């Protein structure tokens, strides 16, 4: 960390060398001197050897929650506030959702993961610094960063415009530090603009859970009026039911137990099927068979129980991976031209579409908020399965 005094000293020595081009170095000094606890970041433009360079000097630290080994506990640490490199931005994080996938960092389940790592890919905040070459955004913009944490623009998939399938794609909070922190650095291509009316604590969960189900449904081939079933009323499912209804589908919620029916109906389901008491597949067939089943509960058994509910040309979409393999008979797929597909999140623009559609259509995540200081408790709450339905860490609270 550079202290305020060290910074003033370095400016003085550069001035002595005639290397610093600051229009009003006196004002700059007083700004530094008066900044509270030295929390100030400024850019010094230097002219050295006829070349202009921009050096961002960071003054100040931030709180972050990191994991330093596979299976380790959360550690609340003070870190230097990082600086954005070329093509990158820095966000002052306001909210960050906790996703089940953060387990990949906590338990070391992602191949090649480097520790220590700050998890978090459901980030909402404001831009407070821009790296060189970032032209499409400005300081103060409200933005989100989700699972899709960047791409290389040059691989074959990127050349075809399919950025989510980039062979060098980055995942926020896995390939670089994520949003369980007061500040985060992200590449500009990972940013989604947040509509004014959407609060940060709602925008966060839309950046992974939201875009995953929204983008899966809108690309599923289902058309308004088609029967679309959402299996599992949880973090993904409670959003899936809302989106399915707002997209104009005949919406069926599939859950276990009678107790979830009122909530499913409140979220917009036309029908609720309690798989603990009836044959889900048979019930779906009574409705004509599902054009799409969005299987949000990561359980191979639960998925197998609903496959038989697909109608002709039906598509079973899986956005969350079960640990167990699926073993099923292919004949019903073949006879009804049915398919089972995986779904992978979306780009930052897909996330922005999710945010905009949610604001426009009055879709809301159900959340519980925790301060960053209670991250371990918040994470346990998320993984207990008791939460309804997403946990969001709030910075500065
Ligand atoms: Zn996620
Ligand atoms: Zn690429």
User: At residue 105, does pLDDT exceed 50?
Assistant: yes
Domain range for residue 43?
4-59
State whether 48 and 70 are in the same domain: no
As for how many domains the chain has, the answer is 3
Domain boundary among 14, 32, 59: 59
State whether 216 and 131 are in the same domain: no
State whether 316 and 240 are in the same domain: yes
Domain boundary among 326, 342, 358: 342
How many CB atoms sit inside 10 A of residue 367's CB?
20
Nearest ligand, CA of residue 122? Answer: 1
Nearest ligand, CA of residue 178? Answer: 1
Nearest ligand, CA of residue 172? Answer: 1
Distance between Cα 171 and ligand 1 center (Å):
10
Output the domain CATH number for residue 164. Answer: 3.90.180.10
Distance of CA 142 to the CA centre of its chain: 15
Q: Which of 233-242, 280-289, 299-308 has the lowest mean pLDDT?
A: 299-308
State whether 329 and 244 are in the same domain: yes
Residues 228-256: pLDDT tens digits? 999 999 999 999 999 999 999 999 999 99
Percentage of the chain lying above the pLDDT 90 cut: 79
What pLDDT shows up at residue 65? 98
Distance between Cα 176 and ligand 1 center (Å):
15
State whether 247 and 304 are in the same domain: yes
State whether 127 and 246 are in the same domain: no
Is 354 inside a domain boundary?
no
Nearest ligand, CA of residue 103? Answer: 1
Angstrom distance (rounded) from CA 352 to CA 194: 7
Residues 292/314, Cβ–Cβ less than 8 Å: yes
Is 347 inside a domain boundary?
no
User: At residue 23, does pLDDT exceed 70?
Assistant: no
Output the domain CATH number for residue 231. Answer: 3.40.50.720
State whether 102 and 163 are in the same domain: yes
User: At residue 226, does pLDDT exceed 80?
Assistant: yes
State whether 20 and 48 are in the same domain: yes
Is 198 inside a domain boundary?
no
User: Which residues line ion ligand 2, judged by CB < 5 Å?
Assistant: 151-152, 155, 158, 166
Is 244 inside a domain boundary?
yes
pTM, two decimal places: 0.84
Is 350 inside a domain boundary?
no
Nearest ligand, CA of residue 146? Answer: 1
State whether 249 and 286 are in the same domain: yes
Average pLDDT over residues 249-278: 96
**CA-wise closest residue to 99 among 395, 394, 389, 299:** 389
Percentage of the chain lying above the pLDDT 70 cut: 85
State whether 67 and 45 are in the same domain: no
Residues 61/4, Cβ–Cβ less than 8 Å: no
Is 334 inside a domain boundary?
yes
Is 222 inside a domain boundary?
yes
**Which tokens belong to 180?**
């369980």
In Å, how far are 70, 101, 174, 179 from 116, measured between CA atoms? Answer: 9, 17, 10, 14
**Which tokens belong to 284?**
């779906």
Angstrom distance (rounded) from CA 372 to CA 178: 13
Is 362 inside a domain boundary?
no
């Amino acid at each position: 960390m550079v202290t305020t005094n060290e910074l003033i000293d370095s400016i003085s020595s550069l001035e002595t060398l005639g290397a610093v081009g600051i229009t009003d170095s006196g004002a700059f000094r007083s700004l530094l001197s008066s900044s509270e606890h030295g929390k100030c970041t400024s850019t010094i433009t230097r002219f050295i050897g006829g070349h202009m360079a921009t050096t961002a000097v960071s003054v100040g630290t931030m709180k972050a929650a990191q994991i330093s080994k596979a299976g380790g506990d959360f550690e609340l640490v003070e870190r230097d506030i990082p600086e954005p490199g070329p093509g990158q931005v820095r966000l002052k994080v306001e909210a960050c959702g906790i996703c089940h996938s953060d387990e990949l960092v906590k338990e070391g389940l992602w191949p090649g993961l480097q520790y220590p790592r700050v998890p978090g890919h459901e980030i909402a905040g404001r831009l407070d610094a821009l790296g060189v070459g970032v032209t499409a955004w400005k300081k103060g913009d409200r933005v989100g960063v989700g699972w899709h944490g960047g791409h290389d623009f040059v691989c074959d998939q990127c050349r075809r415009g399919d950025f989510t399938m980039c062979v060098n794609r980055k995942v926020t909070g896995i390939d670089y530090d994520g949003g369980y922190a007061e500040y985060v650095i992200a590449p500009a291509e990972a940013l989604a603009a947040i509509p004014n009316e959407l609060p940060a604590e709602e925008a966060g969960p839309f950046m992974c859970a939201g875009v995953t189900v929204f983008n899966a449904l809108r690309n599923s081939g289902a058309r308004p009026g088609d029967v679309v079933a959402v299996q599992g009323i949880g973090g993904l499912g409670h959003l899936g039911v809302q989106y399915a209804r707002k997209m104009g589908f005949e919406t069926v919620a599939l859950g276990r137990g009678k107790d979830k029916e009122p909530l499913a109906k409140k979220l917009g389901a036309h029908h609720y099927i309690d798989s603990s008491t009836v044959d889900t597949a048979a019930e779906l067939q009574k409705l004509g068979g599902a054009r799409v089943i969005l299987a949000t509960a990561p359980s191979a058994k639960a998925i197998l129980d609903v496959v038989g509910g697909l109608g002709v040309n039906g598509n079973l979409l899986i956005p969350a991976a079960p640990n167990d393999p699926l073993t099923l008979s292919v004949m019903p797929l073949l006879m009804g031209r049915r398919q089972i597909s995986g779904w992978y999140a979306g780009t930052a623009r897909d996330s922005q579409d999710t945010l905009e559609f949610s604001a426009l259509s009055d879709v809301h995540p159900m959340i519980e908020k925790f301060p960053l200081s209670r991250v371990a408790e918040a994470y346990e709450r998320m993984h207990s399965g008791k939460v309804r339905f997403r946990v969001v860490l709030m910075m500065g609270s």
